[in-house]
Structure formats: C-alpha cells, structure tokens
Structure 1
Amino acid sequence: MPTQAYFDKYPSFPSDVSVVKLPRLSFAKLLAQEEGESDALFEACRAIGFFLLDFRCCPEGEAFLEKAETMFDINQEVYALGFDELMQYAYRPSHSLFGYKCIGDSKIEDNKPDRHEFYNISQDDMTGISKLSNPPCIEAHRPGVKAYIEQAYSIVSLICSHLDTQLRLTPGTLASLQPMSLSSGTALRMLRYPSQPVGDRRTSLRGHTDLGTLTILFNITGGLQLLLPGTDPRDESSWVYVQPVPGCAIVGLGDTMVQWSAGILRSNMHRVTFAPGEQGEVTRYSLAYLVRPYSEAPMKRLSGGNSLIPELEEGEEDTTINAREWEARRVAALRKGQDNTRSKGGREIKLEDKNKVSAVIVGRAE
C-alpha cells in the first residue's frame, strides 16, 4: 500500500476484526535473490495464492510506493469528472474491457447490482502498441502512468523469475509468455467503491478468481476478503478480511498460472464487500495492475525436461488454444453459468528439499 502518511488520511482499520494473516515477503530480499525468501514465495503461491509484498527499506521499492500514491491521486481525479463524462469512455465487454464500467453494470451472487465502478487503462495504449481515447486527466499524466506500469511489470517479472526457479523451468519462461512488447489484455484498473448505507451494506464485487497471471493490488481501506481454503463460499464465516498494510501491496495469482503449472500454483477466490468499522463511512479507492499473457501465448501446461510440472496422465488432454481464445471461452462459460467460480490449484507435489507449505492463519487485525 502507499506510505503511512497516505493511510493517515483515512480512518484506521478496526482492531476487533478477524483478518487473514497473509505471508509478508520482502521485495528487497527477492531482488537480492535470497533463497529463503524465494522458498516462502513459492509456498504462498501454492497454499493460498496471495501474499503481501513489502516495498519499504529499499530504494526501488520506495520509488514504486511514490508512484502508487500518484496513481491514487489520479484515481480521484478520474471520478471527479462525473458520470456523464465518464460514460463517454464506457467499455464494451463484447469488444474491449478498456475504459469505464459504471456501478451496477454487473451482478453479485444474489443477482443484485454490484456497487463498484472502475476505469481500465490499457497497457498497450500506454506503451504505444495501440491507441485509445482516455479522459484528459489520464492523458495529462500519461508519462507517469506509463512509468508506473513499467515498474509494476518489472516487479511481476521478478516474481516470475523466482517461480521459474522453483518450478524448475528454463529461466525467463513465465515472463516470455507476458512481455510488454506484445499485445495483451493487461490493464491498470482504477476502482472506486462508494460508502454504503448502514442498513444496507453488502457485497460490492462478487466472489471470483482472477483470469490472468498476476495482480498487484493497492488498497488503503479494508473491504477485500479471501475465501479460506477448503471452505464453502456460501458460508459467510468462510470469507475473511485482508488488512491493508502501509508500504505493502497485495499480490495474487490468477487462473492462467494454475493452467500453466497444471494446478501446482493456486488462484484463490476473493471478493470485495463493505469496509469494516469507521472505514465503511468513506469512499474506497483501489489500484490493480492486472497482468494477462500476450494474445497468442499457448495455454498448454509447461511440463517437460526438469520441470516440476507433471506430464499428462492417461486420459488427460492438454489444450491447444492460445490465451485470447482461452480467455474468451472462460468468459463465455462464466456468463452462461457453465463454470462455477471456485478456487483452483494447490496440487500436491513431492518436494524433497523443501519445507511443507505453511498453513493460512486467521487472527486479529494488527
């Protein structure tokens, strides 16, 4: 998350709320290629598919936090434009997911309208692969938005390099499937969740797993909840808050990583509901860098050679389609109710020289 100074602008996260105790990893240690930190990253990606990444006490990390604060300022500028102007940039799901999505455009689990809006900025647009129309307040900050995306991508590439090592893949394998130089659906998403009436507080964004590879998420107020592994999403007690931490981002894996790893890596269900305590009385802003593979990337599992990823067993069939086709089929199936959203992955593997995966602990807010 942005720095403590930015957090001080908002009410504190309440201390009497149960939270998921996500693993907290050091960006500096990952940069330094520390083996223990790499092992902890792999364990988190298998057990829950989420972790906190601490950018403090590191020049590169501190620079990224400063860029994130600037993006939060731009986020507020975007929504100060008002509904009518934003609708001039409305996205069209059948053609493109870039642009503005208004409140109520999608549904939550009980078929009620959602309570969030977002503006998707195309990575391809910011890097010059394509050209899209954006509000003037985004165009005015184009160099800063591009700089944020470029550093966010470098962080994703670092995480992927550690996962390459842990999965015993050829160095650069995962990054080669999602390069900035090729067209993709990767986006910087600026989200806004208005405060909800005290007597009518409910889910703002339905439970789901991310479709892409990795997400770098910044929040300041609460609202994000994870589904505890092995629990029923219909049981409200199975959903537990993630507490935002100054200087840290929440990193989550998507379904594409599960597909490539034959289920070794995990994408976990999550949702956004109302923020707890006094935080529920303020507007919630969020910033998500959502990475997807390049359009022609193969979606087959990355097995073979010395890889930990298992080969196909008798009766199994690998996919022959590319990322664009895979994403289109997944979205179509979800719209038809043919692919019930659920956590995916976490497949057991034999790790002779590694510790067992750490359990997810539920505790009180820090």
Structure 2
Amino acid sequence: MSARIPTLDITRFDTDRDAFVAELGAAYREWGFAGIRNHGIPQARIDAAYDVFKRFFALPEDVKKQYHVPGGGGARGYTPFGVETAKDSKHFDLKEFWHIGREIPEDSEYRDVMPPNLWPAEVPGFREHGYGLYQALDQLGSRMLSALALHIGLPEDYFADKTDSGNSILRPIHYPPITADDIPNVRAGAHEDINLITLLVGASAAGLEVLSKKGEWVPFTSDADTIVVNIGDMLQRLTNHVYPSTTHRVTNPPGEQARQPRYSVPFFLHPNPDFLIDVLPSTITPDNPKRYPEPITAQGYLEERLREIKLK
C-alpha cells in the first residue's frame, strides 16, 4: 500500500478517541481516502459474499439480463457490461455490476424512490450473504461518520437519524478479462463518488489509483484485512470541501494480468432521500466561504448525477 495514504486502526476510536479522530480527519482533509483495519467484519463473511457474487457473474448473459430493470437507473438488480460511463468520458467502463439496496417496509415513505431488491434464484445464498455484507458495511459506515462528525465539531450522532433509512447501495462489480490490446476504455474512468462515503471491501486485484492534490496518480491497493473508505460528493458539498471528494480510477493492468478478471464490492453510503444537503455553518470561514448557496435534497442530487453517468 502506498505509504502516503494512511491506514488507521478503527479500534482506537474506542481506546484513543481524540487522537484517532484527529488523525482520521487529517487523512481525509489531505486525501479524501484512508484505509481502515480491525474493522470487525469477519473475513468469512466477506469471502462468502464474494463467492455468491462471482457465481452470479458466471451465469449466462441471457440469465443475468433477466435481472436488468429497464428505466430503473440501475437502482436494483443487474446492470450489463458497457452501460456506465464516467462523467465527461467518451468511453464506457469495462464492467458489469449488481445493486443491493436497503430493505424497507412496503409502506415506507421512501418506497417510491427505493424499490424492492431483486434476488437471483439461480444462486443459493445470494440474499443471505449479500445482504449480510450490506448490513455489516452499513454499521461500519455509521462509525466512520461518527468520527468524521466529531472532527468538524458536530455531535457524534449527527448523521444517525439522517442515514438510518439512507438509499445506500452495495455494488458487486465484475471487470471481465481484457482480451484486446490498445483499447481506449479503462475498467473505471476517472470519477468521484456521488454519496457521503464509500467503503470498498476486498478488491481482488490492483488497479485503484487516487489523484493527489499535486496531480499525481497514487496506487492504493489495500491489504486483505483493510477496507478503503473515501469521501463522496455529497459529504464534500455538505462540508464545504473541508472533506474533499477525490478523483480516482481503476486502471487496466499490464500484460497477462489484464487477462484475469477483477472483482470488487464498494458500499455507497447515502443519506435518507429527503435529507437536505446544505453547507454546514461550522465549515464556512473567511478562507473558505460558502460554495453552494442553494441546498438540494439527497434524492434530487442523486438523480442529477445518475443522468451524468448514463445510468438514467
């Protein structure tokens, strides 16, 4: 792992809170990225989820496409290869993926924007292991937001009632083997994430690169027991860019490594759909005046961004 992007032990949030919050905040102010170890999610849970995800992606194309929801913006189920395109990119990303969302009651006020999940009948255990990982990452994400809140002078529980029905997404991704040389497409074009924070668990191969403030692409391949957590555009906007949403990409590996598939599973933690993203007063200073005069709901912002990346 690059020595320049810090990896921190989250158990220190309980044992050495002030120092941990200060170090974590400093890492995010500089990078918008950090590695988190001793996160408490058992490796067996992660491995079981990866296993069912790989079995789904190995199914025939016509079977997978039965779980694609036309006009659904990729919100649930399967999104085929060649659809998602990074903002301002001419070429689609080299990936296919699945979306698992929050399970909410049928009579929830958010049901119109948070549809029910789809579950592939062809893969036993997909729901159990997929949603189990969703819940584990949701809990870890809440702890991360507690620490970030403290760092900018908010109550520890500031985000709790603003994300408890969040439109968060677990996205198992399959990057197929690359069989042609000199293609203009990359596995994931340079982009920023839309949400509050993203938690990336166990990417199976190198390729993730983060753009530094100096304009250098820094490789960031985490150890097996580390979850990569980065800031998304919603939190950047909410904090008036105190926490930057850093550009990142997934590059194509060289030579024979390109002939291997790559799998990764990011969890995109979102606020509740009606949460109003308005710059926090505590982040407005003479040196950092308010950058966004108009607030926007989380759902409104999400839909705006989905159109930009060709999912809507």
TM-score range, shorter chain: 0.7 to 0.9
Given that 2:175 and 2:262 are in contact with CA atoms closer than 8 Å, whether structure 1 keeps it comes out as: yes
1:223-246 deviation per Cα after TM superposition (whole angstroms, max 9, x unaligned): 111112242xxxxxx333222312
Partner of 1:352: none
Percent identity of paired positions between Structure 1 and Structure 2: 21
Partner of 2:111: none
Which residues in structure 2 correspond to 1:165-184 (within 5 Å)?
165-179=150-164, 182=165, 184=166
Distance in 2 of aligned mates of 1:328 and 1:41: 30
Partner of 2:284: 310
Say which is worse superposed, 29-38 or 65-74, in terms of deviation: 29-38
Correspondent of 1:221 among 196, 202, 205: 205
Given that 1:221 and 1:275 are in contact with CA atoms closer than 8 Å, whether structure 2 keeps it comes out as: no
Of the two, which has the highest radius of gyration? 1
Which residues in structure 2 correspond to 1:189-228 (within 5 Å)?
189-197=171-179, 199-200=181-182, 202-218=185-201, 219-228=203-212
Shift in alpha-carbon separation, 1:317–1:123, aligned structure 2, 3 A: closer
Number of corresponding residues: 300
Q: Following TM superposition, by how much is the alpha carbon of 1:255 offset from its aligned partner in structure 2, in angstroms?
A: 0.5
Partner of 1:161: 146
Distance in 2 of aligned mates of 1:93 and 1:211: 20
**Equivalent AA in structure 2 for residue 120 of structure 1:** H
TM-score (norm 2): 0.85
Partner of 1:294: 272
Partner of 1:261: 239
Q: Give the SS at the match of 1:266.
A: coil
Shift in alpha-carbon separation, 1:251–1:93, aligned structure 2, 3 A: farther
Is 2:295 aligned against 1:320?
A: yes
Given that 1:78 and 1:138 are in contact with CA atoms closer than 8 Å, whether structure 2 keeps it comes out as: yes
Given that 2:170 and 2:266 are in contact with CA atoms closer than 8 Å, whether structure 1 keeps it comes out as: yes
Q: Following TM superposition, by how much is the alpha carbon of 1:145 offset from its aligned partner in structure 2, in angstroms?
A: 2.7
Over the aligned positions, Cα root-mean-square deviation in angstroms equals: 2.9
Ranges in structure 2 where 5+ consecutive residues have no aligned partner: 109-114
Distance in 1 of aligned mates of 2:141 and 2:147: 10
Partner of 2:75: 97
Correspondent of 2:167 among 156, 173, 185: 185
Q: Give the SS at the match of 1:136.
A: coil
**Equivalent AA in structure 2 for residue 160 of structure 1:** L
Which residues in structure 2 correspond to 1:335-350 (within 5 Å)?
none
1:176-202 deviation per Cα after TM superposition (whole angstroms, max 9, x unaligned): 2211xx2x4311100011121363365
